[in-house]
Amino acid sequence: MEVQAYLFFDGRCEEAVEFYKKALGAKVEMLMRFKESPDPPPPGMLPPGSENKIMHSCLRIGDTAVMASDGGCTGKGSFQGFSLSLAVASAAEADRLWGALADGGTVQMPIGKTFWSPRFGMVTDRFGVSWMVNVVQ
């Protein structure tokens, strides 16, 4: 069994994909727009003009697949009650990734030394996704 995160950006998925490519080195493994689906969405599911929005994508971030979509394209994306956690090998890598995610986001906990790690920090990125960055020893 494997648990994978599936994030719904409600209209900002393409922007998020590009951000994660730059900030985290994410690789796009799959991307399908609503207009490319072999089956059309049910009537009334999407607002008019959403055919170029992302129906499904899969990003590879390190060794992990993270899936993402524009969902219902409502423009009301909300991410609450969870954080994605990056386990990295060095303080320099933690500082770089935390700084990239913090660009345009909100600092929850500045990156620094903790009793369990030489570097740990928490940030909510510009899309509202919460991240923890942790050096694993």
CATH code at position 19: 3.30.720.100
Residue 43 has pLDDT above 90, yes or no: no
Q: Which pLDDT does position 62 carry in this prediction?
A: 94
Give the count of domains, the chain: 2
Please check whether residues 60 and 111 belong to one and the same domain: no
Per-residue pLDDT band for 126 (boundaries 50, 70, 90) equals very high
Please check whether residues 56 and 101 belong to one and the same domain: no
What is the identity of the amino acid at 90?
S
> How far is Cα 32 from Cα 81, in angstroms, rounded to an integer?
28
- pTM here? 0.92
Q: At 101, which helix (H) or strand (E)?
A: helix 91-102
Averaged pLDDT score across all residues of the chain: 93
* Residue 79 placed within a domain: no
Please check whether residues 11 and 65 belong to one and the same domain: yes
The boundaries of the domain holding residue 23 are 6-69
Residue 131 has pLDDT above 80, yes or no: yes
Q: Which pLDDT does position 45 carry in this prediction?
A: 76
135 in Cβ contact with 90 (< 8 Å): yes
Residue with tokens 């009537």: 43
* Residue 107 placed within a domain: yes
What is the identity of the amino acid at 97?
L
* Residue 10 placed within a domain: yes
* Residue 74 placed within a domain: no
Enumerate residues 6+ apart whose C-beta is below 8 A from 73: 10, 11, 46, 47, 50, 53
> How far is Cα 92 from Cα 17, in angstroms, rounded to an integer?
24
Least confident of 46-55, 58-67, 112-121: 46-55
Q: Which pLDDT does position 86 carry in this prediction?
A: 97
> How far is Cα 82 from Cα 14, in angstroms, rounded to an integer?
22
Please check whether residues 16 and 45 belong to one and the same domain: yes
